[in-house]
Amino acid sequence: MSLSVEAVTGSALQDVLPYLARLRITVFRDWPYLYDGSEEYEREYLAKFIAADGAVCIVARDGETIVGASTASPMAETDEEFIEPFKTDGYDIAKVFYCGESVLIGDYRGQGVGHKFFEGREAHARHLGGFETSTFCRVVRPDDHPLKPASYRPLDSFWRKRGYSPVERLLAEYAWKDIGQSDETTKQLQFWTKPL
């Protein structure tokens, strides 16, 4: 494997979108997201992302093949469902940088790519300037969920090593369709933050 990681911004984002969509559909199908994705949903979701001022995608490649990607943008450019908890808690939204999804094919995990995803997004936030807080969110699922694998290990210790910690009062609600379900349902998302 010859893994490389680079930041993609501006018009070049258009070139990585089809790969990002496929990665999201594939990786997020697993626990804890259980996302039953469609290309139509992905087109709409990602069109908003690439239109965001200050958006970045950190892309991991094995040779020429894209095997992972991680997105981020200023919080002000994201969905209102994510912005609202920060507004309610008194944050200046203009000073919050939102780290979106990180999706990486399983064979490439455990090789430091996750750290590079965070480093790249935080470096982009510092390059843009004016941000005081970096944040991301994760889905909250019950421990006794029937689809939770016995071997699942949460990423909490990894995130804490990166300097992030959960903020209990920062919770959002967002809807998507789970595998095996016919309709979208609303999930709760817990935000983790880090001073930049």
Closest CA to 134 of 158, 118, 156: 118
The amino acid that residue 49 corresponds to is F
Q: Which residue has the tokens 């390059």?
A: 127
Structure tokens at 154: 């949460």
Pairing verdict, β 96-104 and 133-140? parallel
Structure tokens at 166: 């959960």
163, 192 in Cβ contact below 8 A? no
- For residue 10, what is the domain's CATH number? 3.40.630.30
Mean local confidence (pLDDT), 35-62: 92
pLDDT of residue 131: 98
Residue 171 lies in a domain: yes
In the chain, beta strands by DSSP E: 3-9, 56-62, 65-74, 96-104, 133-140, 165-177, 184-195
Instruction: Considering only the C-alpha atoms of the chain, give the largest distance between any 2 of them, rounded to a whole number of Å.
Output: 46
Mean local confidence (pLDDT), 174-190: 94
Residue 81 lies in a domain: yes
50, 13 in Cβ contact below 8 A? yes
Residue 105 lies in a domain: yes
pLDDT-based confidence at residue 72 (cuts at 50, 70, 90) = very high
pLDDT over threshold 90, residue 44:
no
Residues of the domain holding 67: 3-147+162-195
pLDDT over threshold 70, residue 105:
yes
Mean local confidence (pLDDT), 38-45: 86
Residue 156 lies in a domain: no
Residue 154 lies in a domain: no
Residue 25 lies in a domain: yes
Closest CA to 158 of 103, 195, 100, 114: 114
pLDDT of residue 12: 95
Which residues sit opposite 72 in a β-bridge?
A: 56, 99
pLDDT-based confidence at residue 1 (cuts at 50, 70, 90) = low
**What's the domain count of the chain?**
1
Mean local confidence (pLDDT), 6-13: 96
Reported pTM: 0.94
